[in-house]
Amino acid sequence: MANTTSRPGSPKLRTAPFLFLLATLSAAPVGDLQAFETADPFATGALVPPRPALSLDAPEPARRPCRPPSADAVYGLIDVVDLALCQNPATREVWSFARLQAAGVGIAQSDFLPALDGRLAANRVRASGQSNTQKSGSLTLSWLLFDFGARSANLEIARQLLSAASATLDSTVQNVFLSAVQAYYNAQAARAAVDAARESEKASRESLSAAEVRYRVGSGTPADRLQAQTAWSQATLTRLRAEGVLRNTLGRLANVMGLDADRPLPLDDIPAATPDAGFERDVAALIDEARARRPDLKAAEAELKAARSGIDYARAAGLPTLSLAAGPKWEDLGGVSANASSIGLTLNLPIFSGFSTTYNVRAAEARSDVQAARVDNVRLQVALDVWEAYQSLSTAGQTIRTSADLLASAEHSERVALGRYKAGVGNILDVLNAQSALAGARLQRIQAMLDWYVSRAALARAIGALDGKSLFSLGDGRKAQTP
């Protein structure tokens, strides 16, 4: 092996520090770049909330959330909500934003550590017909030792913004949850409306047949036959419109689930609504519970804390700082090399900044006041949301009971009117009016069922309690059976 240190003036010896520094700075990025990118020395990954997915304590112990549906799947409410939480772009967006804020906490924590920077330079200088190569290298350690709390305030801002992002994630998840419930029951109501329209069309066709029989035997008039024909045509149009509404609601349901609107969505049957007293409590108690649970209020309060920490940061930014700097330096100027090292403290004393610190503090105080007003506004909105959702659920429960009586009465009236007409003692107008009333009663019954299901979910959302457990009280009978 050749001896590279035999002559003090050897070019290899003079460039040794340069090569050593180059190897030191280049080896780590080449070998450990991916490790640096995936490392998490501050454990900020543990601060990121879980990815949105439907959590069920029971039944289905072997159930895997966010699993893709099979080609022949029949969708129940649990399936719809599960896919909506997993695939809706809104939930992915806010979860990614929470990850961004968690990384911001790591960035704020990194300000407390020293920084190590390397510098290499090589220049070729030509003067008076001669050229020389100048090379230099340095390694600098810099460490901010004291800053009157600016870094601590910045870290607190990052932590509170992460708390706000996590609460916003919870709020968005509940909003998507409610949208999925609403879309599901809208589709179920549209499907039931199609069935009701077909029943009405069938009844109108029966009335037309009865009118034609009476017309042929001479006991009916042409006017009766034409009126029955008109009613049957109107019932057919109503059925066609209901089928169009069903297709649109299924498209909106697929959209909420993060699927293309043309995706076929066969829906499971739902049980009849059974109003209970689960939420029949004092409204004031519900409002207090909502203010303790609502994630959007928690997000606003966290943003207020961040804004208040911003005041401390603005004040500390205008105060002195004390820093440490140290490191070696090497230069080679056309064959003459020199090595040096330095260590020292730097005290930075801001004397006059054109009143920027003053106005930065005022701006931070104003932002804090703005956010405090937003918190009060959200608190009032929470109370209003609970009040309206509670009243809607109460009304929906009463409407279900009344609509059941209305439907039973309308069905009996239609049977009597049609029987009388077939017996030749009634007229066609009584039959058509009874059938029209029955069609209206069916639609009101469907709407009452929809309103109750959606109002119950809306109240749970208003309280901040809309989660997987809520589904078992929202009508997914197929999935609610315990194994």
pLDDT of 483 reads 27
pLDDT of 441 reads 87
Choose between 442 and 159: higher pLDDT.
159
Distances (CA, A) of 305 to 56, 99, 308: 33, 20, 5
10 is a domain residue: no
DSSP SS3 for 54: coil
Flag whether pLDDT at 225 surpasses 50. Answer: yes
Single-letter amino acid code for the residue at 462: A
Q: Select from 445, 450, 477, 446 the least CA-distant residue to 77.
A: 477
**Sheet bearing 115-127, strands edge to edge:** 115-127, 130-146, 321-333, 336-348
140 and 224 part of one domain? no
Residue with tokens 């968690």: 102
pLDDT of 183 reads 93
Q: Which residue, of 352, 373, 399, is where some domain finishes?
A: 352
366 and 442 part of one domain? yes
420 is a domain residue: yes
Domain containing residue 339:
115-146+320-352
377 and 466 part of one domain? yes
pLDDT of 35 reads 57
Flag whether pLDDT at 180 surpasses 60. Answer: yes
pLDDT of 214 reads 77
Single-letter amino acid code for the residue at 317: A
pLDDT band at 196, cuts 50/70/90? Answer: confident
pLDDT of 446 reads 83
Flag whether pLDDT at 20 surpasses 60. Answer: no
Flag whether pLDDT at 45 surpasses 70. Answer: yes
pLDDT of 272 reads 64
136 and 269 part of one domain? no
332 and 415 part of one domain? no
> The domain spanning residue 338 has which CATH number?
2.20.200
pLDDT band at 377, cuts 50/70/90? Answer: very high
Percent with pLDDT over 70 in the chain: 84
> The domain spanning residue 479 has which CATH number?
1.20.1600.10
The tens digit of pLDDT for each residue in 425-470 reads 777 888 888 888 888 888 888 888 888 888 989 999 999 988 877 7
Q: Which residue, of 352, 368, 398, is where some domain finishes?
A: 352
7 is a domain residue: no
Mean of the pLDDT values across residues 185-201? 88
4 is a domain residue: no
Mean of the pLDDT values across residues 341-348? 91
Give Cβ neighbours of residue 395 (< 8 Å, ≥ 6 apart).
451, 455
Mean of the pLDDT values across residues 76-80? 88
The tens digit of pLDDT for each residue in 277-317 reads 555 568 889 999 999 999 999 999 999 999 999 999 999 99
384 and 474 part of one domain? yes
What pairing do the DSSP bridges indicate for beta strands 115-127 and 130-146? antiparallel
15 is a domain residue: no
pLDDT band at 21, cuts 50/70/90? Answer: very low
pLDDT of 277 reads 56
Flag whether pLDDT at 130 surpasses 80. Answer: no
Flag whether pLDDT at 5 surpasses 80. Answer: no
257 and 300 part of one domain? yes
96 and 83 part of one domain? yes
Q: Which residue, of 310, 336, 352, is where some domain finishes?
A: 352
Q: Select from 234, 200, 267, 273 the least CA-distant residue to 457.
A: 273
Choose between 334 and 63: higher pLDDT.
334
Mean of the pLDDT values across residues 7-26? 42
Flag whether pLDDT at 276 surpasses 80. Answer: no
The domain total for the chain is: 2
432 and 452 part of one domain? yes
170 and 133 part of one domain? no
CA dist 429 and 211 (Å) reads: 11
pLDDT of 480 reads 37
346 and 454 part of one domain? no
pLDDT, mean over the chain: 83
pLDDT band at 245, cuts 50/70/90? Answer: very high
Flag whether pLDDT at 358 surpasses 90. Answer: yes
Give Cβ neighbours of residue 51 (< 8 Å, ≥ 6 apart).
95
416 is a domain residue: yes
Choose between 182 and 1: higher pLDDT.
182
pLDDT of 440 reads 84
Query: If you average pLDDT over each of 195-204, 264-273, 292-301, which comes out highest?
Result: 292-301
pLDDT band at 340, cuts 50/70/90? Answer: confident
Mean of the pLDDT values across residues 23-46? 64
241 and 331 part of one domain? no
56 is a domain residue: no
Mean of the pLDDT values across residues 160-178? 94
